[in-house]
Structure 1
Amino acid sequence: MGHHPRHHPPQGPWGVLIALAVLGAWLGHLVWLLAFSQLSLASPLAWLHMAVQAYLSTGLFITGHDAMHGTVSRHRGLNEAVGTAACFLFAGLSYQRLVVNHRAHHLDPTGPDDPDFSTRTQAFLPWFTTFMVRYMTWPQFLTMALKFNVLWWLGVEQWRIWAFWVAPAVAGTFQLSTSAPIGRTVSRTPRTWRPTTRARCRATTCGPCCPATSSAITGSTTNRP
């Protein structure tokens, strides 16, 4: 199994600038699609912009993931602020809940306590269903419903909300799940092999912990064995 370089906190402002650029591109493009564009579903350009928004939605969640690993900024508070904004904008997700689940994932990748992995099946749809059930919550449903109704109340046509906000978020979720799904890329590892936490972290598609479980995830700078 290949060795991955360890993540290090960024030394300059580039992590924050890139994160803000992703957030700004996602939000700016969405506002234009909902309020100012003259596109219709009959236009191929509308579908192109839907694909672009889905791509930006994927980047939005990846930005939140990078914040969990402390790679946006050296300042923990700024990492949390960026991660909270990115996860909330993506799908009303709780950043703190994601941090807890992501820590559990890195502590036991492909194990029974890994919330990102299914020990029962490696088929995509059953795994994806299990994954969504573990992560989706009633507050998230209510938040998304509130966002939808606020946009509708502001005068945005419903088809635009579905086409340019809901559909790209769903497409982005599938892209995140199919581009490097943990349960499908590491499932060939024999279940009898139980490496150390650090080695198991390197075996995941998310890359190594930072370091072996980063301060952004655990709240401690102490390396774990």
Structure 2
Amino acid sequence: MSTRTALVVRGGWEGHDPVGCTEVFIPFLEAQGFEVAVADDLSVYDDAGRIAATDLVVHSWSGGMLTSAQEANLVSAVRHGTGLAGWHGGIIGTNVANAAYLRMVGGRFVHHPEGFQDYTVNISRSPVRDGEIVEGLDDYQVLTEQYWVLSDSASTVLATTTFAIEDGGEWAEPAIMPVTWTRRWGAGRVFVCTLGHQASDLRQHPTTTMIERGLLWASRSDRPERHRP
């Protein structure tokens, strides 16, 4: 079997600590046999052949904007089998003018309450597709940003959070938001987690486990049907 390859694309708004956050998982990927490359410039997506030959792209670039060619190359690569994974604003608070990218990742950040919130991450209980990513995990508390996202039914939701009714607020029922989801896009797989404002969020045990499993799940080389485009 050839060496598995992962490309970590990181940068953008420094408030999300793209370097520190991705460094949480690079040693894990290397221990799993990946040859990991790091790109600090979105121009890496100009190389269509490189992206298409990569088993896993970890996108951690808050507030970015892809050119039309970069977007087309990434979306095509995923459609043909390259895995895509990421967390927080690095994957859904970015490329907001890139409609094809947003359709592929299956969600867009639109709001979070001011400051950090103490809230529960609810793990899906019933049998669900890709449930092995959260198998054995229980609901848990976090203290971090709580993301309100726009999403669709093409994703499999593995964890949620609930925005309670607010006095004088705009919604009359509790609003349930996805925290972690998986998505098929052509022959590719996409994994998204909305947690991860800072590296300490990602080091919290249940979150770390979810993301590590999600990275492996998304990677083309972790699947029996592995193939090159």
TM-score normalized with structure 1 length: 0.29
Structure 1 or 2: more strand by fraction = 2
Greater gyration radius = 1
Q: Counting helix residues as a fraction of each chain, which structure ranks higher?
A: 1
